[in-house]
Amino acid sequence: MARRKYPFRRILTGGLLLDSKVVDFVTPLIKSYYSKAEGFAPPGIAKREFGFGDYEKKIAFRHYAFKDEAALRRYMVEKAPPFASYSTAFYQYPDARPMENKKLLGAELIFDLDSTDLRLPCQQEHGRDWICDKDLDAIKAETVRLVEDFLMPDFGFSEKDISINFSGNRGYHVHVNNDQAYSLSGDARKAVSGYISGTDMDLQAFFPTIGLKGIGLKGPKPADSGWGGRFAKGLITALDTGVGALESLGMEPDIARKLFRKRAEIIMGISVGNWDKVSIPKKAEFWKAIIGNMSIKQSDSIDSNVTKDMHHLIRMPNTLHGDTALAAKRIASLAELKRFEPMEDAIAFREGTVTVSAGKVQKFVMGGAQFGPYKNERVEVPTYAALYMLLKRVATL
Ligand SMILES: [Zn+2]
């Protein structure tokens, strides 16, 4: 197989230069990481397509194939790509082009959860390129919810079929690996995605009398399966918790207070499917918005929605993320996910310290220590913290 020699050294990203000195510093570290790294070869490796990125683009080169883990490792050690991805699909001829010549055999069902899609208020303060503890905690909770509240109970996937990994920067990837998932058509994937993100929701299915004048509003009960039960239970939990919990479902403060005052009566009503215990203007819009806030926010920032696209390439678990030098760490179980701390557990380079010129750097916590805020100063920090700042383009060597 003749291959072009790809330069993983292009140095522009998002309009921000990555100094060539930084590239020269990071490249040997990437090589040494892949000479030792474990568990980055995906199952069914010979049927996968691979793609690699440079510092400019996360997937700059694709249509690669490797017969086994040793061949993949040789490539990674030699080329030191800052980003490495593989196809969620299995193909008969994974390196064939164009796409249709690959002959699709099936594909994992995947979900890409990215904290920027949560649009937390803190993101306004620190900007989209930076990430704080709040973003990381919130996206972890969202990932737990996807698995615990949707994939397992509503779709019947078992925990052993679900593998989860940190994305290496701002979120998590969830892969479902079983024959039922592999054989889903593109349309079925679209329906799964619509279901969990609540976008295809038919309100009338839950509220058969909505929009009918003079008839009481009948709705789902907490014991109902799927979305109906989740909606009823979610609202009851929020009513029990307080005005803040109701507001976080997207209610205006005055409506939240009104519902909270009448909570005993409302909860009693919902438990028997009577949703008419409080009068709310524009009911349909109101409940639709609440459902939207109970849904899972999937990443819509990359291409089209990842779950729907069967030809998508996704980061290989346990490979490095070229904007952070954190590993896209595979997480063994749901219990492990709940304990997982990315800025500690995904650290790939623990040895030594490096002195860098920090520009304007917001504070961050990594490896249990706080760094910054810095403003145009030389600082000596652990290698992982230095790499994090260098690759985020907020420091230079
Ligand atoms: Zn934040």
130-140 tens-digit pLDDT: 999 999 999 99
The Cα 148–Cα 174 span in angstroms is 12
Burial 144-156 (b: 16+ CB within 10 A, else e): ebbbebbbbebbe
Span from the CA of 137 to the centroid of ligand 1 (angstroms): 9
| Three-state SS annotation for 334-348 | HHHHHHCCHHHHCEC
Rounded distance from Cα 364 to ligand 1 centre (Å): 11
What homologous superfamily is domain 12-193+300-340 in, according to CATH? DNA primase, PRIM domain (3.90.920.10)
Distance of CA 127 from the midpoint of ligand 1 (Å): 8
| The predicted structure's pLDDT at residue 14 | 44
Residue 127, pLDDT score:
87
Q: Ligand 1 mean position to 362 CA, how many Å?
A: 11
Residues of the chain with pLDDT under 70: 1-17, 299-307
119 Cα to the center of ligand 1, angstroms: 9
Predicted local confidence at residue 13, as pLDDT: 42
| 131 C-alpha to ligand 1 centroid (Å) | 5
Q: Where are the domains positioned within the chain?
A: 12-193+300-340, 203-294, 349-397
- The confidence score (pLDDT) of residue 308 equals 74
Query: Which CATH number is 349-397's, of 1.10.287, 3.40.5, 1.10.150, 1.10.3470?
Result: 3.40.5
How far is the centre of ligand 1, averaged over its atoms, from the C-alpha of 138 (Å)?
Answer: 9
Task: Specify the pTM.
Answer: 0.89
Q: Distance from the CA of 373 to the center of ligand 1, in angstroms?
A: 15
Centroid of ligand 1 to alpha carbon of 336 (angstroms): 23
Which secondary structure element, helix H or strand E, spans residue 180, and what is its range? Answer: helix 179-182
Q: What is the pLDDT of residue 199?
A: 75
